[in-house]
Amino acid sequence: MMDFIVFSVGNNHYALNIENIQRIIQAKELTTIPNSSELIDGMMSYEEKVIKILNFRKLIGLISYEKELQKSFAIFKFSCQEWLNELRDSLENGSVFTKTTNPHKSALGMWLDSFNSYDDRVTAILKELMLSHKHIHALGGDALELYKTDRDRAKSMLNREINEAFKKVTTYLDIFISELESVSNSLQKLIIYEKNGITFAIKVDTIEDIAHIEESKIMNSNEDYRTGEYLELSGILDIEGVLINVIKNIDIPK
């Protein structure tokens, strides 16, 4: 029986033998290293050592986590504007409102519900964004209900309270976007890894599980292959229908 830490990067899943893992900690602000490999995000102090941080996304050729978050927030802003446009059309022209007035069922709301931050500033921004997001959905529901009996008051509510609430949502979205590095660090994890006396950290998106697997369950385990100079895989695991790449060896650029 072998024990693995299962983690994800983008839509990809990997398993890393636990015997070389010392700890898993929250990602943090790093010190840059001049003229270092593009795979290295920087360095940090760890147990009286200075260790390098290997960015797993860069290792496998994915865009940075910050850029992925930036894309997601651009979509969230567009979705919020679409929501307001449809609400305005419903209150001004009587068209059917097809969006949700439940903040937890919108794209932004579902993302916010799944997000936890360990950064005090990010947590403060998150709280304000969540409150303003819930408030505008509540106002939207009230205005749609009011429209049934008093259209003029519903339109007035749109032009005053709802528009003002929308400005707050977009303001906090913009602040969140300006803090993407801190947001990214609030989400990503560092796997402290030791190999041949060298300790370094591997930055990943999410730690998913600890898996106890029999070696015979690893498919294609006799076909070791490299995905680059620093990463070698030893096969694939199928855990409840999710395919997971098993890492045989991982190195860090000198």
We report the CATH number of the domain holding residue 80 as 1.20.120.30
H-only helix segments in the chain? 56-59, 65-93, 107-113, 120-147, 151-157, 163-178, 180-187
- Residue 191 reports pLDDT greater than 70: yes
Same domain, 226 and 201: yes
Same domain, 57 and 92: no
Please say which residue of 133, 157, 183 terminates a domain: 183
pLDDT bracket for residue 114 (50, 70, 90)? confident
Beta bridge partners of 250: 231
Please say which residue of 183, 198, 221 terminates a domain: 183
Please tell me the predicted confidence (pLDDT) of residue 221: 54
The amino acid at residue 247 is I
pLDDT bracket for residue 2 (50, 70, 90)? confident
Same domain, 58 and 70: no
Same domain, 119 and 223: no
pLDDT bracket for residue 52 (50, 70, 90)? very high
Helices 65-93 and 163-178, packing angle to 10 deg: 170
How many domains, in total, are found in the chain?
2
For the segment 68-75, the average pLDDT, to the nearest whole number, is: 91
Same domain, 141 and 83: yes
* Of 27-31, 88-92, 101-105, 223-227, minimum mean pLDDT range: 223-227
Please tell me the predicted confidence (pLDDT) of residue 85: 97
pLDDT bracket for residue 137 (50, 70, 90)? very high
Please say which residue of 183, 199, 229 terminates a domain: 183
208, 24 contact by CB (below 8 A): no
Smallest CA-to-CA distance from 54 within 90, 7, 94 is with: 7
The amino acid at residue 170 is T
More confident of the two residues 140 and 239: 140
- What range defines the domain where residue 165 resides? 65-183
Q: Collect all residues with Cβ–Cβ distance below 8 Å to 20 and sequence separation of at least 6.
A: 193, 194, 195
More confident of the two residues 121 and 228: 121
pLDDT bracket for residue 74 (50, 70, 90)? very high
Cβ neighbourhood burial of 94 (10 Å; 0-12, 13-18, 19+): exposed
- Residue 117 reports pLDDT greater than 80: no
Sheet of 40-46: strand order equals 21-26, 189-195, 198-204, 49-55, 40-46
Summarised one tens digit per residue, pLDDT across range 53-71 is 999 999 999 998 988 888 9
Question: How confident is the prediction for the chain on average, in pLDDT?
Answer: 90
More confident of the two residues 239 and 220: 239
Same domain, 137 and 179: yes
Same domain, 54 and 110: no
125, 106 contact by CB (below 8 A): no
**What is the distance between the terminal CA atoms of the chain, rounded to a whole angstrom?**
33
Same domain, 165 and 71: yes
Phi, psi for residue 105 in degrees, rounded to 5: -105, 0
For the segment 90-114, the average pLDDT, to the nearest whole number, is: 94
Most confident of 23-32, 49-58, 174-183: 49-58
Summarised one tens digit per residue, pLDDT across range 220-234 is 755 556 567 889 998
Prediction pTM value: 0.79
Same domain, 120 and 194: no
Token look-up 């339109």 returns 155
Same domain, 70 and 17: no
Whichever domain contains 211, its CATH number is 2.40.50.180
Same domain, 79 and 52: no
Same domain, 82 and 104: yes
